[in-house]
Every structure is written in structure tokens, then in C-alpha cells.
Amino acid sequence: MTRVLRWTFAAGVALAAGGAAAAPTPAPDPGAAASASTPAPTAEPDAEQGHIVSDGPVAVRASVSPDPSNIGDLLTLEIVAAYPRGYAVNLPTTVQIEPLHLVDVEETEPESTGQGLRKTFRIRMQSFTVGEQRTRSFPVTYVDDGGAVHTIALPAVPFVVESLLANVDDVARKGEDPPVSIEYPNDLAEIIAWSVAGTLLLALLSWVLLRRWLARDKIVPAPPPIPPHEVAYAALEELAGGDLLQSEQYADYYVQLTEITKAYLQGRFGVDALDRTTEEIRRELVRAPSVVAPLGADDVIALLQRYDLVKFARFAPPRDEAESDLDGVRDIVDRSRPDRAAKPESAPERANTEARP
């Protein structure tokens, strides 16, 4: 019990000190000063300090300022709570103050008072009704050091709102002010100057953008790809002018001859030949022999199988036969070139073709 009385007295003193710093203090009263010199064991509501309520070691003071006020003035309902360390004091989540108009709610950080803490809440509001009024009562909750939740009912605080008119009883209309002559400046010159400046700026910006557009990097189209038959002709000429046959390197010679043939089939007809074996190419041409038209699928397969015989069976053909195989690849290219494939073969050309082995 002694601890509760001590906290209540300390809270009352803290609230009184906070009220003296936050609101204007009326003229000192000798009787009140004499009574204040003797500390009371509990903090009771006091008109000089605001409206104070207490619950155990927690005391709450509420006051409205300014009082009196005029219609529409910004009023402040100041709520100061004094409580021991380890406690927490809070307002409701939603503060109901109707019919007053709520502006905002401000909450300060707790400050030390020596023996405990003090926390201030400021509810700013407006009133648009003349006369004596009161704020609405609402609860203030606090949590003690043991975690228990308590509620203190904050009392309604009276205040007075006065009219803005000084002669409320006998309203007199004020006289009208004489008319004021307003001279309108001539803005034509300024408008012309700004228009000319804007036009010049727009012209400069257009010129800069045009320069950048004209100086942009022009896209140069890439050269067209070399036709597959020209690539094959060049590779055959290079192979024929080499020294693989003179040095009897038949395996390397036929490896290059095979690659030239496969590259032409892939570039000319779209047959995936470079990464496939002869057997894989044979299976594809058997399924779709027309893919290599006007060439015959059997002729192409026989030619590749002959090259494999030299590469893998170590068969060494005569030199003239190796040269004839190169001419056979050249003949395949000649007969299937896009610019000649649609033309009918002449009689001499057909005779030469039939005479070749």
C-alpha cells in the first residue's frame, strides 16, 4: 500500500509539472499555494492542474487548450500519463471525439521523471459550435510489469467556444470598402518575346535531332552467301591442285573428297550430311529419294560407299581412277546446279554422262 501511495504522489507531482510547462498557468492563488506546499498522499482532480484520474501507480491528466477559443480554432486535448518503469500506457486505436472534428493524434516518447516515466498524447481537434462543451470520455489502457492489462476511464474535459463576432448580441454590418482599381499590364510584348524564344528553341532542338538522325550508323547489308556449287568447285580445284595423289596419300585424298560431297549435299539439298555416316545418309535417302533430285539417290549412295572403301579398307585405287572420282563429284555438282537443274540435258552432255564410269 505504501508503494502505491508513493507512486500516486510522484505521478501527481509529475503531471502537475508537465501541465505547468505545457499550458498557461492562471494567476497564483495564496490558498492554493498553501495547500500545494503540503504533499497529498493521492492525486485528486484539480481545476488548476486539469482533470486527473489515477489507478494504482498510474495517474492521467487531461486538459484542453486554448480555453476559451473561437469557432474553427485548432484545439489540443493533452493527455499526460505518469507511471512506473516497466509499465506501458496507450490510447485506443481509434479515438472517438464526435461531435468534434478530429485533426490528428500525436504521441511522444516516454521521458524520465526521476522515479518513473511520463508520456504525453496530443489530440488536435476543431469545434464549430458556440458555447460550453465537453470532450467525450474514452478509456486509456496500461500494462503493468506483470503483463496484466488495466483500463482508466478518462473523464470528459469541459471547454468554451466563443463566437468570432465581437458584438454577438447586436450584430452590426460593417460598411463596404470603396472599390479598388486594378491596372492590367500590357502583356503583348512579353507574349511575343516568349513565343519567339520558344520557336528558336524548338528550331534548335529539331536541328540537333536531324543531325543525329542523319549521322546515325547505316546498316550495311551483308553480302549474299556463296552458292554451294561455287564452294564445291573451289574445293575440288584446290584438291586437284594438291599433292595428295602424287604422294599416294589416298586416304586423306578421299576424306577430303567425301567432305566436299557431303558439304555440297547439305548446302544444295538441305541433307544433314556432314555430321552423319554414309549408312545414316543412305537410310535418309532411301526414305526420301526425291530430296536430292535431279540426282539419283542410288548414285549418291554408291559414290559415298566407294569413298568409304578407300578410307576404311585401305584400298589403293589407281591414280587415274582417283582423278575420275573427283570428276564424278564435279559431274554431280554440274547436273544439280540450280541454274542448270531445270534445263534439259543436251545429247552430247547426255552421251558424256553415260560414258563416264
- Pick the range with the lowest mean pLDDT from 95-104, 158-167, 330-339, 346-355: 346-355
Q: Record the cell numbers describing residue 308, joined without a space.
A: 568409304
- The separation between the first and the last C-alpha atoms of the chain, rounded to the nearest angstrom, is 128
Give the pLDDT confidence of 251-271 residue by residue, as tens digits: 888 889 999 999 988 988 988
- The residue among 295, 302, 307 whose CA lies nearest residue 250 is 307
Place of cell 509499465: 87
Reported pTM: 0.37
pLDDT of residue 12 exceeding 60: no
| 127, HSE (Cβ side, Cα atoms, 13 Å) | 27
Task: Report helix, strand or coil for 93.
Answer: coil
What percent of the chain is predicted at pLDDT more than 90? 13
Please give the Cα distance from 321 to 336 (Å, whole number).
Answer: 23
Distance of CA 212 to the CA centre of its chain: 32
The fold adopted by the segment(s) 2-162 is: Immunoglobulin-like (2.60.40)
d(CA 164, CA 171): 11
Domain ranges of the chain: 2-162, 228-355
Backbone angles phi, psi at 48, to 5 degrees: -75, -25
| Residue appearing with cell numbers 550508323 | 217
Cell matching residue 204? 534548335
What digits encode the pLDDT tens for the residues 81-137?
Answer: 899 988 988 888 888 888 888 899 998 999 988 888 999 999 999 988 888 998 988
pLDDT tens figures, 184-240: 666 788 889 999 999 999 999 999 999 888 887 777 777 888 898 889 899 989 988
User: Percent helix, strand and coil across the chain, each rounded to 5?
Assistant: 40, 20, 40
pLDDT surpassing 70 at residue 281: yes
- Of 105, 106, 109, the residue nearest 88 (C-alpha): 109
User: Which residues lie closer than 8 Å to 54 by C-beta, 6 or more apart?
Assistant: 8, 11, 12, 42, 43, 60, 152
Lowest-pLDDT choice from 49-58, 80-89, 256-265, 281-290? 49-58
- For residue range 293-320, what is the model confidence (pLDDT) as tens digits? 888 888 888 888 888 888 777 777 888 8
Q: Would you give the distance in Å from CA 281 to the centre of its chain?
A: 54
Contact 98, 136 (CB under 8 A): yes
